[in-house]
Structure 1
Amino acid sequence: MTGLRDILERHVSSGSLPGAVGLVARGDRVEVEAVGSADAEGTAPMVRDSIFRFASLTKPVTAAAVMMLVEEGRLALTDAVAPWLPEVASPVVVRTPASPVDDVVPADRLITVSDLLTFRAGYGFPSDFSLPAVGLLFSELKQGPPQPQQVAAPDAWMKALSRIPLLYQPGEAWLYNTCSDILGVLIARVTGQSLPEFLAERIFEPLGMADTGFAVPAGDLGRFTTLYRGGDGGLEPVDAPHGQWSSVPAFPSGAGGLVGTADDWYAFARMLLAEGALDGDRGRLLSAGSVRMMTTDWLTPAQRAGAELFLEGQGWGFGGSVDVTQSDPWNVPGRYGWVGGTGTAAHVTPATGAVSVLLTQLEMTGPTPPAMTREFWTYAAGA
């Protein structure tokens, strides 16, 4: 029978990636395998606590932080975000998604907290990246593959956002990524703390996520993996341990800025499975109701269909996808989580108590998860 180590070693030995860490938990049984090397040169072995760029595995963490503020009464899901984000207080929308960026109409209503959590605010990536308004997300906001040191500080970033029209009316369509970055700015402005400070104090420290943050301390760079891009010429280095995550960036991305380990994300996953409770008798991070809202699909069938390139028929909760059908061996209704463009994936399945975390350092070539990820999911589902 094929085991977790067999799956990881097969792909590493093929030369398609230097190494990987996989974690699969089913109840109290936790299986962890680390194979290969932290870089293509083989200078350091991959270990259980190797540090990876989480990329979009950041999104569920950002959503949890917002829900903490909702529980404290500092925000409400139905609140317009304009009081904290005046840059989007008078949004305009391109007349059609393909219209020029100066052919706009007023938004029907203001953007709410719920719009941002469900990725239906009107900002973000559709299936067609060539649309004029989408081009501005790349050129003005530096959306796309994480590049933390290249992005402007939050106030300047929000000023740039204010000049970009919405692609759809608020609430109309699901669009990828940008809403999580806006939520990161919202958290900072509501709390008066930077996003790194708030997440460290309120989530990482209580959960024991000791290696998670927006930069890797100098003393831990020896455990930080090198990021690669695949191609016909083999593996091409994209970011080294001493590169873009060696210092805290001006713009800490709530969409894709975090680094961490498999065990760190597993600690976050255990909190979700426990419906917000911390390990032992240490209270709660979130209420059970907040966790259920995070892990519930909020999209209409038409919105799911319009997001097929990214979601492949899945729904979307707050900060992560939610499986709504059993269309594949690994597709378990209620499974919540997401994938990261740096080669990461993490999910929890409340109905079965399962957790799966896969960390590699090979960039995805597009929104579709690679074969290794799907094989890992099938194993994690016990199929």
Structure 2
Amino acid sequence: MTDLRDVLEKHVGGAGAPGAVALIARGDETEVVALGSHDVEGTTAMARDSIFRVASITKPIVAAAVLTLIEDSLVALDDPIGKWLPELASPSVVRTPASPVEDVVPATRPITVADLLDFRAGWGFPADFSLPAVRLLFEQVQADPRNPASFPAPDEWLAKLARVPLLHQPGEAWLYNTCSDLQGILIARVSGRSLPEYLAERVFEPLGMTDTGFVVPPEKRARFTRLYAPGDDGPVPGSAPDDAWHTLPPFPSGGGGLVSTADDWAAFGRMLLGGGSLDGRRVLSAESVRRMTTDHLSPAQREASTLFLEGQGWGYGGSVDIAAVDPWNVPGRYGWVGGTGTTAHVIPATGTVAVLLTQLAMTAPTPTPLMREFWRYAVTA
């Protein structure tokens, strides 16, 4: 009978990831496997508390933080974001997605907080990266979330984004990524705190996520894994040196800037399964969790988003399975993947949290074979 170690062993070492940590929790039972090493040299064995750049599985955490602002009545879902992000109060929209960036019309309505949460603000990545407005988006603001030093400070980043027209009218289309970075800036401006400070106070501390943040302090650096990209002869060093994480970045990216451990993200997942609370510590209301983990897209919007979604819907900060179209799809499963080789989901139907962390970056927006095998194991074992 296949176990979790068997799933990992086929993909760790050699041309695969140097190491991996996988955690599957169902109720009071937790299965954890740490395999391989922190680097290709094998200098440090992988451990349950190894720290990874988790990339886009940052997104659900930041979305949850936006919902705490709503619960505190500091913002509302239908509030225009221009109240706090005046740079974006009057966006223009390209006449058609393929139009030149100079051929624009006014937005028919303001961008709202809900548009940021469900990724329908009008900025982001579609299936076609060659569109003029998308190319301009990359030129102006799209930095590498695996390299914190590649981002300018938030105010400068926002000023550059304001020069990029929307690809679609607000609310019309799902576009990937940019809205999470906007959520991070919104949190800071509404709360009057930096994003790292707000996340620490409202999410990490209540959930005991002691190894999650935007920087790796000196006492934890021995647990910090290296980042690699696939190469012709095996993994090659990634785009940012480890010391890029030794100090707080100028732009803490809400789209993918966190480091974390398997147990820390699992604590966040358990909070979602617990209706917003973990061990008596409440972070969100049950209604906020429901909205966060519910699909908000129309069938047409899902069908147009096949580069990143594979038939799933989108909640706030993560995808939502709406049909059992594959062995690993369970209706209601919520979570996401990270470009550094990470994935994390909760499965309400079975009370399962499934977290897989590796340090081998993805080369495409589609999940890796290891991710797919891990998901299949998580929903069928």
Common fold: TM-score over 0.5: yes
Tell me the amino acid that sits aligned with residue 195 of structure 2: L
Listed as ranges, the gaps of 5+ residues in structure 1 are none
Q: Partner residue of 1:229?
A: 229
- Flag the 1:136–1:70 CA change in 2: closer, same or farther, 3 A: same
The 5-angstrom pairing of residues 281-292 of structure 1 reads: 281-282=280-281, 284-292=282-290
1:304 maps to: 302
Distance 1:177 1:131, change over 3 A: same
Q: After the TM superposition, which residues 20-31 of structure 1 pair with which residues of structure 2 at under 5 Å, given as runs?
A: 20-31=20-31
Task: Summarize the alignment of residues 25-44 of structure 1 with structure 2, pairs less than 5 Å apart.
Answer: 25-44=25-44
Tell me the equivalent position of 1:318: 316
Give the residue type in structure 2 aligned to 1:53. Answer: R
Matched residues, number: 381
SS of residue matched to 2:246: coil
Deviations 1:266-290 (A, max 9, x none): 01001000010121x34x1110000
- Whether contact under 8 Å (1:20, 1:36) holds in the other structure is yes
How far, CA to CA, are the matches of 2:144 and 2:314 in structure 1? Answer: 20
Range that drifts further, 135-144 or 32-41: 135-144
Q: After superposition, where does 1:353-368 map in structure 2 within 5 Å?
A: 353-368=351-366
Measured against aligned partners, the alpha-carbon deviations of 1:181-210 in whole angstroms (never above 9, x if no partner) come to 001000000000000000011110110000
Whether 2:105 is the aligned partner of 1:105: answer yes
Cα distance, 1:138 vs structure 2: 2.0
Structure-2 separation of matches of 1:347 and 1:260: 15
Per mean C-alpha deviation after superposition, the further-off stretch among 178-187 and 145-154 is 145-154
| Aligned residue in 2 for 1:8 | 8
Q: Where does structure 2 lack aligned partners over 5 or more consecutive residues?
A: none
Aligned residue runs from structure 1 range 191-206, under 5 A: 191-206=191-206
Label 1:89 to 1:206 Cα distance change in 2 as closer, same or farther (>3 A). Answer: same
**Equivalent pair of 2:276/2:289 in contact (CA under 8 Å):** yes
Q: Aligned to 2:346, what secondary structure does the other structure show?
A: strand
Shift of 1:98: 1.2
Is the partner of 1:23 in helix, strand or coil?
Answer: strand
How big is the shift at 1:14? Answer: 4.2
- 1:185 is matched with 185
Deviation at 1:244, TM superposition (A): 2.0
Task: Give the superposition deviation at 1:241.
Answer: 6.3
Q: Identify which range, 311-320 or 142-151, moves more after superposition.
A: 142-151
Q: Does 1:209 align with 2:206?
A: no
Would you say the 8 A contact 2:144–2:151 is kept in 1? no
Native 8 Å contact 2:146 2:240 kept in 1: no
Mapped partners of 1:211, 1:252: distance in 2: 16
Equivalent AA in structure 2 for residue 233 of structure 1 = D
- Within 1, Cα distance between the matches of 2:272 and 2:221? 29
Report Cα offsets for 1:112-160 as digits up to 9, x if no partner. Answer: 0000000000010000111111112222113455321111101111100
Taking the TM superposition and a 5 Å limit, the aligned residue runs for 1:1-383 are 1-239=1-239, 242-279=242-279, 281-282=280-281, 284-382=282-380
Matched residue type, 1:120: R
Deviation, 1:240, is 6.4
Q: Aligned letter for 2:184?
A: G
Asked if the contact 1:125–1:177 (Cα under 8 Å) also holds between the matched residues in 2, the reply is yes
3-state secondary structure, aligned to 1:302? helix
Contact 1:225 1:240 (8 Å CA) reproduced: no
CA shift digits 1:5-35 (9 cap, x unpaired): 1111121144311000000111211000000
Matched residue SS, 1:352: coil
Return the alpha-carbon distance in structure 2 between the equivalents of residues 323 and 144 of structure 1.
28
Deviation at 1:242, TM superposition (A): 2.9
TM-score (norm 2): 0.98
Residues of 1 paired with 2:269 and 2:22: CA distance?
14
- State how far apart, in whole Å, the 2-side matches of 1:102 and 1:173 are: 21
Rounded Cα–Cα distance in structure 2 between residues aligned with 1:330 and 1:36: 25
1:285-327 deviation per Cα after TM superposition (whole angstroms, max 9, x unaligned) = 1100000000000000000000011011100000000000001
The more displaced of 369-378 and 237-246 is 237-246
- Residues 321 and 338 of structure 1 are in contact (CA less than 8 Å); yes or no, is this contact kept in structure 2? yes
Give the TM-score normalised by the residue count of structure 1: 0.98
Amino acid at match of 1:44: T
